[in-house]
Amino acid sequence: MSTSRPDPPSSAGPAPLGAGRREPTAVDAVAERWFGRAMELDPAQATVHGFPGRETEYRDYGPEGLEARAEAVRETLAELTGAVPADDVDRVTVHALRERLGLELLLHEEGLRGGEVNNISSPVQEIRDVFDDLPRRTPEDWAHIAGRLRNVPAAVDSYVAGLRQARARGRCASVLQLRNAARQCEGYAADRGFFARLAGGPHVPEGMHRELAEAAAQARQAYHRLARVLGEELAAHAPHADAAGPDVYTLRLQEFLGAVVDPAAVYAWGVEQLRTVVAEQEALARRIAPGATPAQAMAALDADPDRQLHGTDALQAWMQDLSDAAVDALAGTHFEITAPMRRLECRIAPTHDGGIWYSMPSADFSRPGRMWWSVPEGTGTFTTWEQTTTVYHEGVPGHHLQFATALANSGELNRWRRMGVWVSGHGEGWALYAERLMDELGHLQDPGDRMGMLDAQRLRAARVVFDVGFHCGYRIPRELGDALGGARAGEVWTPEDGWRFLRSNIVMQDPMLRFEWMRYMGWPGQAPSYKVGQQLWEQARDAARAAAGPGFRLKDFHSRALRLGSVGLDTLAYALDL
């Protein structure tokens, strides 16, 4: 229960979310046309957003599809030059569109689109992931699922064409990433894998089992074929090194932050952040058990039967109860949470890859926001002290509040601003900011729960160090001392150094930690966006507090900032200064 007092009522804050309607402008029209074109080019995303009509289709992942999107970007940027902003909302839209689309075009022209292969965010997962949010209530819903299953082979073929083009241009994922992704593909396509379970589930309508089974068999064959392309054809001549190099890495950081930063400065900052959070953990550990180290305190927390959950049913129920309690405690006090925004479902994912994520509601909130937990095979015990902060990160006041606030702001924002733009530094930075905020608001008074929050902060700081250091070829910092955990101080980072370092700093079972380790090496620049984004959110709050003086209200700051949508962090700073 929070012990902090809510902000006092004030008539100076923003109007209630959803009140009034702003007249659309010429700039809105440009953004709307871009969003509509983007949905045409990516029917699966249109389905996720709740737009009917193309429920069975995929985007073209191959060279023609990549060029079609690039040409649409060029046209939108040209059109934007003639649109005159009518107000501050327009000024933010123009700033955000130019930043996002300009960078996307640069990445395309540099050949950094079309060859993505990793364990978390590439077409390997994307083609399958869309099924998680498809409705399964009516025979028509299941007919759409069957239709999309039949289109999996064409999607896979276009992806393979894109991978081959990227290889011809000298852009190819590493052997490690390719073979790991091939194993994922085989898992999805196995006799008891995702596609087989989808077609044989208990909720398939009578008379549709054969149609679903035949469609799923086509999808399985396509994924077996994709596994061979990844694990044999491409891996046979792929590089062994994952490191992106400083030039590509700088672009990737900009992509994930929406801000231009110096990787060397981020690396040095990350080292200091890690040292700071380690000191916080050491002080808290001595409170949990006199004389204990953080590892000893965590072992004691793990051994506490009152902090354990057994089985995924218990995990799902605990997540839902904690999420519901957070919504009840924060609605109307520190945040705006309207009635449609209160619905948040916590689910166990139908895969076993590892990872926890959030999927946004449909445009009309008929499909609620969802928190997903992909539990690795063999993992049956979970600790609440470690995961309380994760629920806040993915749900409220984290991603769900962020996405739902922008989505509910239909009276002010065009559709692209509400649902078509997502910047990791903004989104993940906010979610990490939300974890610290829950501590400040009194929701982590239990020492174990607070240790879990600090553990999450340590994870994010440690991966800043490894992600930047590994991809840019920096040397392992001696000043981290014991926190290096066996990584060789003064040497250039290797995957093995990274594994030893991460195991020393991240409390996670080996299957999930291995997933994280692979993720950092295969998705350069994304992992630091959490901690760097958190810092920029905290700086924005401090600047707003200084400007407002005694009249500063935290709820008003949160409402104003979240209503902007998930813009880049440079755009966020620009918008808050208007």
Residue 354, C-beta contacts closer than 8 angstroms, at least 6 positions apart: 374, 375, 376, 511, 512, 514, 515, 516
Q: The pTM is what?
A: 0.91
Question: What pLDDT score was predicted for residue 18?
Answer: 65
13 band by pLDDT with thresholds 50, 70 and 90: low
Percent of the chain with pLDDT over 70: 97
Angle at 95 between CA 89 and CA 101, to 5 degrees: 125
Angle formed by the axes of helices 246-257 and 528-548, to 10°?
50
Whether the ω angle into residue 246 lies within 30 degrees of 0, i.e. cis, is no
546 band by pLDDT with thresholds 50, 70 and 90: very high
- DSSP H stretches of helix in 364-417: 384-394, 399-408, 415
377 band by pLDDT with thresholds 50, 70 and 90: confident
Does 7 score more than 50 pLDDT? no
Question: What pLDDT score was predicted for residue 80?
Answer: 96
pLDDT tens per residue across span 44-68: 999 988 899 999 999 999 999 999 9
Question: What pLDDT score was predicted for residue 351?
Answer: 84
Does 9 score more than 50 pLDDT? no
pLDDT tens per residue across span 14-31: 777 766 789 999 999 999
Question: What pLDDT score was predicted for residue 10?
Answer: 41
The radius of gyration of the chain from alpha carbons, rounded to an integer in Å, stands at: 23
Does 294 score more than 90 pLDDT? yes
pLDDT tens per residue across span 68-115: 999 999 999 999 999 999 999 999 999 999 999 999 999 999 999 999
Question: What pLDDT score was predicted for residue 333?
Answer: 85
Read off the tokens for 427.
């989104």
Question: What pLDDT score was predicted for residue 6?
Answer: 41
Polymer length in residues for the chain: 578
Where is mean pLDDT largest: 11-15, 316-320, 356-360? 316-320
- 6: alpha, beta or left, given left = phi > 0 and alpha = psi -120 to 50? beta
Distance of CA 316 to the CA centre of its chain: 20
For the chain, give the mean pLDDT. 93
Does 409 score more than 80 pLDDT? yes
What integer is the mean pLDDT of 367-383? 91
What integer is the mean pLDDT of 341-352? 92
202 band by pLDDT with thresholds 50, 70 and 90: confident
**How far is Cα 147 from Cα 401, in angstroms, rounded to an integer?**
33
332 band by pLDDT with thresholds 50, 70 and 90: confident
